[in-house]
Amino acid sequence: MFVATSPNGAPMSGKLASRRVFHELMTAALSAVIALVVAGCGKEGPQAPARPPSRVSVMTVVPRDVPLTTVYIAQTRSSQAVNIQARVSGFLEKRLYTEGSMVKAGTVLFQMDKKPFQAQVDAAKAALQREQAALVVAKANLARTRPLTEQNALSQKDLDDAEGRYEQSAAAVEQAKANLIEAELNLSYTTIVSPVAGATGRAAIPDGSYVNTVNSQLTTVSVLTPMWVDFSVSENQMERIRADIAQGRLRMPDRDSFIVEIELADGSRFPHTGRITFADPSYDPRTGTFLIRASVDNPLGVLRPNQYVRAMISGAVRPNAILVPQRAVQQGAGGNFVWVIAADGKAQPRPVGVGDWHGDEWFIMEGLNAGDRVVVDGALTLAPGAAVTVVPYSPARQATPADPSSAAAPVAK
């Protein structure tokens, strides 16, 4: 029979004896477990199978001249939007055009009440006749006075008076002629015509209204061809373009003859191309942008003023540019990088500097050279120094490494 004793050999109570026994049993069990673990560490376990080389698609870097097409959000504007205004005060008698219709130059748009202006013309004609009659009398009187003065039958004062009345009558005739011309002009202004060919706007004044300088705006006529297309370039973009030109990374067309193509809201392409005709000499202080205007023929009136479109500007070239598919460029803690296949056939990451997008590709501004082999597909499975199985990249099919037929695809040039 086991009796628990204290360190001095005296028997222990039942409760203390149970605790002492439990402690000794746990100590023995823990020692056994440690011995088994130590014994097991000396034995070799089964080894994991070696990982097979990753299958990746690879392109060879070949610099080439790449034509650029830059897309901007643009807004159309009439090349000549004319405000049709009444030039005299009076009652608007009738509108003679259909709102929104196309009109030719010289088409009558409005007719004002002519009667008051016709009366002014008649009065001016009568005044002219009166002054012309007075001139005839003054001229005859001068003709009689001059010889009599030479014969000393009349005094020099009489001759001076006759000449003065003649000159006054001649001036009165000229004044009457000017008054008649003004009256006839005012009469002609009652018939309001379009000075240009274009699309008419809504009538701002209803028929029968009195028109004066306060409400003289009647409608607008907007020239539709050529149509102006305005778009803006930010200050940062302009500085980057200047830097690229200075460093030889961008070549402009001869005489800056850019070609402007228009894409409509539904994605369709406008059939006529245009040219850049104006660049604002200063920046807009509110937006920090630089206004550029293109002129586009619009013979069928498809484009309308204040319409939002996409302006695609082409003509510039990036010489000796390096392009890689977007999915080949990855983002890491240190920035953008690509995987390249080194001379020993193993994958290595390489930092790169990226520029703008070109379709589904990146312009690589630094980090790659001609002849480098860049991994396009399968890069997510790579680690530095990893062995790979290379499959040539085919941009036409954009084959993935899982596609067996991609093995026969040529390397992109």
Question: For 16-25, 109-118, 256-265, which range has the lowest pLDDT when averaged over its residues?
Answer: 16-25
Considering the domain architecture, whether residues 93 and 210 belong to the same structural domain is answered as yes
Domain membership of residue 233 (yes or no) is: yes
Considering the domain architecture, whether residues 253 and 290 belong to the same structural domain is answered as yes
Name the percent of the chain lying above pLDDT 70.
Answer: 83
- The burial class, CB within 10 Å (0-12 / 13-18 / 19+), for 401 is buried
- Grade residue 2 by pLDDT with cuts at 50, 70 and 90: very low
Letter string b/e over residues 331-368, b meaning 16 or more CB atoms within 10 A of that residue's CB: eeeeebbbbbbeeeebbbbeebebbeebeebbbbbebb
Considering the domain architecture, whether residues 246 and 176 belong to the same structural domain is answered as no
CATH code of the domain containing 198: 2.40.50.100
Domain membership of residue 191 (yes or no) is: yes
Which tens digits make up the pLDDT trace of 264-302? 999 999 999 999 999 998 998 898 899 999 999 999 999
* pLDDT surpasses 80 at 402: no
Considering the domain architecture, whether residues 131 and 181 belong to the same structural domain is answered as yes
Last residue of a domain, one of 317, 338, 371: 317
Last residue of a domain, one of 217, 249, 270: 217
Domain membership of residue 192 (yes or no) is: yes
Domain membership of residue 131 (yes or no) is: yes
* pLDDT surpasses 80 at 44: no
* pLDDT surpasses 50 at 1: no
Considering the domain architecture, whether residues 113 and 203 belong to the same structural domain is answered as yes
Considering the domain architecture, whether residues 133 and 248 belong to the same structural domain is answered as no
For residue 27, the model assigns a pLDDT of 56
CATH code of the domain containing 268: 2.40.30.170
Nearest of 307, 296, 311, 309 to residue 225 by alpha carbon: 296
Domain membership of residue 23 (yes or no) is: no
- Residue with the larger pLDDT of the pair 19 and 289: 289
Last residue of a domain, one of 159, 186, 217: 217
CATH code of the domain containing 349: 2.40.420.20
Considering the domain architecture, whether residues 92 and 206 belong to the same structural domain is answered as yes
User: Is the omega angle on the peptide bond into residue 226 within 30 degrees of 0, that is, cis?
Assistant: yes
Considering the domain architecture, whether residues 135 and 74 belong to the same structural domain is answered as no
Which tens digits make up the pLDDT trace of 357-392? 888 899 999 999 999 999 999 988 888 998 888 889
- Grade residue 19 by pLDDT with cuts at 50, 70 and 90: low
Domain membership of residue 39 (yes or no) is: no
For residue 117, the model assigns a pLDDT of 96
* pLDDT surpasses 50 at 400: no
Considering the domain architecture, whether residues 204 and 103 belong to the same structural domain is answered as yes
Considering the domain architecture, whether residues 194 and 286 belong to the same structural domain is answered as no
Nearest of 230, 22, 235, 193 to residue 95 by alpha carbon: 193
* Pair 81, 305: CB distance under 8 Å: yes
Domain membership of residue 7 (yes or no) is: no
* pLDDT surpasses 80 at 166: yes
Mean pLDDT of 87-110: 95
* pLDDT surpasses 60 at 406: no
Residue 397 CA to residue 362 CA, distance in Å, equals 18
Which tens digits make up the pLDDT trace of 215-230? 999 999 999 999 999 9
The mean of the pLDDT values for the chain is 86
Q: Are strands 210-211 and 64-78 parallel, antiparallel or unpaired?
A: unpaired
Give me the domain span that covers residue 262.
68-79+224-317
Q: What is the DSSP string of 297-330?
A: --TT--S-TT-EEEEEEEEEEEEEE-EEEGGG-E
For residue 411, the model assigns a pLDDT of 30
* pLDDT surpasses 90 at 41: no
- Domain total for the chain? 3
Residue 354 CA to residue 367 CA, distance in Å, equals 9
Name the percent of the chain lying above pLDDT 90.
Answer: 68
* pLDDT surpasses 60 at 18: no
Domain membership of residue 288 (yes or no) is: yes
For residue 47, the model assigns a pLDDT of 56
For residue 54, the model assigns a pLDDT of 83
For residue 357, the model assigns a pLDDT of 87
Residue 312 CA to residue 258 CA, distance in Å, equals 10
Considering the domain architecture, whether residues 73 and 137 belong to the same structural domain is answered as no
Considering the domain architecture, whether residues 119 and 167 belong to the same structural domain is answered as yes
